Structure 1
């Protein structure tokens, strides 16, 4: 019969090995984004009515895609996204929920940077870029001006703004917006049509999916107008 001391020693050894394995696994997960990563290609294709097939949208153009024309586009395995969020108002919370739900449904590798300090919004965006994501998604009107300030200097990084837009987006910034949102920053103030109630779960979900579909399909630097989504 095994002695109590030997049994205790065996249990301790097992616990130690488990702890080491957990530590290694944790490090591997944390460092996964530092490994080489192929440029993402979409799974599926845009449906009819997303854009005019006879003419690609020009930079800064506003496009009104038919509802659901983005449904067949999905991110590839291993797609890396950082969500940068600022604010706890109802619209921002609805957008954050939509991004997280989409990431879970599509098995996207999602990380979040919360930008609660207004004086460090640019630092939060920079931190998100430094992680090496395929896409940075912003949720919250307070991030519009900071993003406008830094995005022209980081053209290799794709950004998606949901529920707002930049007044003069560069080619790497795509937005999904609608009449009740339409905050543009740069001192323009809040649109008279702004309506927090327009940030429905369905519209926020559509903004995320349509926006990501556009980015994956190389239709960037444009504004997707989603008034036709309830």
Structure 2
């Protein structure tokens, strides 16, 4: 004997649409909502470097050093959604000052920032690879103990932009820019530097200028050079 109906039954098309909607919502909830997972072009920068940024040089050749006039980088900012990985390593005060300067700049400019810190010396190369796997617009290196590994890895990944603050590579490729000063020109163990290392020169103010000037160089397309600050 047929049971009495409990109520109206939804038409099949409407029921199917409801089920598909629920399934879509579940699948969306299981997806990766990390915006870093999305492919997109590098956001266009706003502003340009002022005359004197390249120290009177029209087009510096790779590996050259330029001394920009103070403040010539102030008008340059990354575009919305610019992605940066801070790769920092070292318990010394200079390394901490540099890392803090990068964080402060990222907060001021509303930059999407992720941080990677190697566990030990054996983890440096894997950490650089991990940073590149995030597909950032820029990797900023802070800490002398990263230099030797960066010199090797960066030369094999020319499509990834790097900025080294407070140090430099001995023979940078076109994708590696450095921002340093007298007292902060470490280029690797056994490699001559252009100045004597002096931890006291790593002040928050000087580190902040190095980050901003270095990023301005990258955003302006002046890469593969050393930005030397007075």
Q: 1:156 aligned to 2:159?
A: yes
Point out the structure with max Rg over C-alpha. 2
Asked if 1:33 is matched to 2:36, the reply is: yes
Structure 2 residue 109 is the aligned partner of structure 1 residue 126: no
Q: CA deviation at 1:190?
A: 7.0
C-alpha distance in structure 2 between counterparts of 1:26 and 1:207, whole Å: 39
Residues 35-68 of structure 1: CA deviation (Å, up to 9, x unaligned):
1211232110101210156621100000000111
1:196 to 2:186 alignment: no
Distance 2:73 2:79 in 1: 15
Number of residue pairs matched by the alignment = 205
Are residues 25 and 225 of structure 1, via their aligned partners in 2, closer, same or farther at CA, if it must alter by over 3 Å? farther
Where in structure 2 are the equivalents of 1:130-209 lying within 5 Å?
130-185=133-188, 187-188=190-191, 193-209=196-212
For residues 181 and 80 of structure 1, do their structure 2 counterparts lie closer, same or farther at Cα, with a shift above 3 Å needed?
Answer: same
| Alignment-derived partner of residue 6 in structure 1 | none
What's the Cα RMSD here? Answer: 2.1
Superposition map of 1:1-230 within 5 A: 24=29, 27-28=32-33, 31-51=34-54, 55-185=58-188, 187-188=190-191, 193-227=196-230
The TM-score normalised by the length of structure 2 is 0.84
Structure 1 runs (4+) greater than 3 angstroms displaced: 23-27, 189-192
TM-score between both structures, scaled by the size of structure 1: 0.84
Unaligned runs of 5+ in 2: 1-24
Asked if the contact 1:62/1:225 (under 8 Å) is kept, the reply is: yes
CA contact (8 A) 1:40 1:216 kept: no
